[in-house]
Amino acid sequence: MSIDVDEVTLMEDRARVIRRGTVELPAGLSRVTIAAVSPVLADKTLAARSPTATVTDASVARRRLHLDEDRDEATQALVAQRRDARERVDALSERLRRIEDSLGQLDDAASHTLDELALDAAWSRADAGDWERRLKSVAELEGRLREERLTTRWDLEEARRELERVQRALSASATPSRELRAQITVTIEAPEAGPHAIEVEYVVPNACWRPRHRAVLDGDTVRFEHEGCVWQNTGEDWDDVQLRFSTQRPSLGVEPPTLSTDRLRVQRKADRVVVEARQQVVEQTGLGAASAPAAPELPGIDDGGEVQELVAPDRARVPSDGRPHRAALFAFEVPATETLSCVPSITEAVIRKTEQTNEATRPLLAGPVDLVRGGGFVGRTTILYVAPGERFELGWGPDPALRVHREVEVTEEESKLLSSWYRSERDVVDRLSNLGPDPKTVELVERVPVSEIEKVKIAVDADHTGRDADADGFVRWSVELAPFGHERVELRYVVERHSDVSGSF
């Protein structure tokens, strides 16, 4: 029995491969060779063990091979065409050389013939008929050779162009002509002859995974499927393996950063304060996690700060082709509450969204979500980290029956007499229209800037607006739209700044 890949644990940027198998060993010291392993495996991570024998050494050897039979059929056909084209170019070049030599010899023969005719005429031995026959023979032979040379040159140019075309096609082929192969040699000492189990473990780069999800909306129920998307180009195919997906971030060795001098200097405080507006994302893990601190955004997989390991329920095949391969991890069905939401400052559209609870025993990791509704793919969205039991939202695209139009009006700044504060008002008007025959209820959300300094004050005009903003600057309305109806929502807020504050906000 061979020692094939049995289990693979995928991490953010590498994978831990475990090969398991049973081999027949004689009593004493033996060597077991495992061929067709990944040539990029990290040597220092290689380990071998056996429960019934003693492993004394494990090493990996690499070599480069040049095997034409390893190429695919298309590449082999191009190689054969290149060989034939080269042989044709060589044959035509040799033929053209022979013709050129023949023409040179014919020129010499014609020159000698003319010399002989001049000599015969000098000795009064001229024979006009013989002269005509000899000159005509030379002229006919020269004409045939020149015609053959012209044809051969044409054929040679065609053959060279064909060789260049085949060479370009072969250069563009992705199949390498030189391949790096590796094999593992395990030295093992068996106490007695018979079958012995061997396990080999190592870490390889060029492999990674990312969470991916699929949500299917059927009426008021959402089926949510959590998947792992795998990419690997390690040089070895994983056939019928157990996949594990981990959010660990191991390292094969790092060096501490070089420290540099950080000089502190005293400088005079600026006479003016320059401010500017910026977009700030309000971080939260789910709809009900406002009291819990959000995990910082990570460059890889966001696991909420706790290492997760997910096991695929079914064995899978992942070839070494660099393409994405998806493996199902777990799924659940949950009731969903569908609402209509509109944030005109981001997009002037009413989005259909659902709110549901993560009823799985594991968290949902941040990643893209494929949306399926009515039996077809309707779009793609993303989710952040969602803990078990946490509620989260999914957007299903705009409602085609609703229209939104937003207008913003800013008044000029004015200042009261002997006051160092400037004041301006900003009016936001949202108009909603229902083009359908059914009544709709829309949750409308507007944003008001939130000041971080004392010399800039921003406040909602509650008397004009009818409500106030929350701590994050959001103002919310529940708008009832009758069939083919229209509604208007107004927001007014006041911006005050001190005279020594400048900038855009």
Burial class of residue 68 (count of CB atoms within 10 Å of its CB; 0-12, 13-18, 19+): exposed
DSSP notation for 360-404: SSSPBPSEEEEEEETTEEEEEEEE--B-TT-EEEEEEEE-TTEEE
Burial class of residue 220 (count of CB atoms within 10 Å of its CB; 0-12, 13-18, 19+): exposed
User: What pLDDT is recorded for position 126?
Assistant: 61
Q: What's the rounded Cα separation, in Å, for the pair 159 and 92?
A: 8
Q: Look at residue 263 and tell me if it is in a domain.
A: no
Q: What's the rounded Cα separation, in Å, for the pair 243 and 7?
A: 6
Q: Looking at this protein, which amino acid is placed at residue 259?
A: L
Contact present, 10 and 245 (Cβ < 8 Å): yes
Count up the domains in the chain and report the number.
4
The torsion angle over the Cα atoms of residues 121, 124, 130 and 133, rounded to 10 degrees, is 20
Q: Look at residue 156 and tell me if it is in a domain.
A: yes
Q: Are 330 and 211 part of one and the same domain? A: yes
Q: Look at residue 453 and tell me if it is in a domain.
A: yes
- Average pLDDT by stretches of 10, the chain with 505 residues: 87 93 91 89 91 89 62 76 90 90 81 73 66 76 86 91 87 60 89 92 93 93 95 92 90 73 85 75 54 45 84 94 93 94 92 93 92 89 91 92 94 84 92 94 93 89 88 92 94 90 75
Q: What's the rounded Cα separation, in Å, for the pair 233 and 320?
A: 4
Q: Look at residue 267 and tell me if it is in a domain.
A: no
Q: Look at residue 11 and tell me if it is in a domain.
A: yes
Q: Are 219 and 297 part of one and the same domain? A: yes
Q: Are 219 and 343 part of one and the same domain? A: yes
User: What pLDDT is recorded for position 484?
Assistant: 94
Q: What's the rounded Cα separation, in Å, for the pair 474 and 290?
A: 14
Beta-carbon contacts of 443 under 8 Å, excluding residues fewer than 6 positions away, are 339, 340, 341, 342, 476, 477, 478, 479
Which one of 370, 398, 426 terminates a domain?
A: 398
Q: Are 229 and 278 part of one and the same domain? A: yes
User: What pLDDT is recorded for position 286?
Assistant: 54
Q: Is the dihedral of CA 172, 173, 176, 177 positive or negative?
A: negative
Q: Look at residue 314 and tell me if it is in a domain.
A: yes
- In the chain, % helix, strand, coil (3-state, to 5) comes to 20, 45, 35
The torsion angle over the Cα atoms of residues 134, 137, 139 and 143, rounded to 10 degrees, is -170
Q: What's the rounded Cα separation, in Å, for the pair 320 and 72?
A: 15
Q: Are 190 and 161 part of one and the same domain? A: no
Q: Look at residue 235 and tell me if it is in a domain.
A: yes
Q: What's the rounded Cα separation, in Å, for the pair 200 and 54?
A: 13
User: Could you tell me the CATH number of the domain that includes residue 57?
Assistant: 2.60.40
Q: Are 393 and 436 part of one and the same domain? A: no
Q: Look at residue 188 and tell me if it is in a domain.
A: yes
Beta partners for residue 218, in sequence order: 221
Least Cα distance to 41 among 84, 79, 8 occurs for 8
Which one of 367, 382, 398 terminates a domain?
A: 398
Which one of 377, 398, 419 terminates a domain?
A: 398
Q: What's the rounded Cα separation, in Å, for the pair 195 and 22?
A: 6
Q: Are 91 and 219 part of one and the same domain? A: no
Q: What's the rounded Cα separation, in Å, for the pair 425 and 427?
A: 7
Contact present, 413 and 426 (Cβ < 8 Å): no
Q: Are 200 and 215 part of one and the same domain? A: no
Q: What's the rounded Cα separation, in Å, for the pair 135 and 106?
A: 11
Q: Are 231 and 344 part of one and the same domain? A: yes
Q: Are 111 and 189 part of one and the same domain? A: no
Q: Are 354 and 497 part of one and the same domain? A: no
Contact present, 457 and 496 (Cβ < 8 Å): yes
Q: Are 136 and 277 part of one and the same domain? A: no
Quote the domain boundaries for residue 87. Answer: 70-171
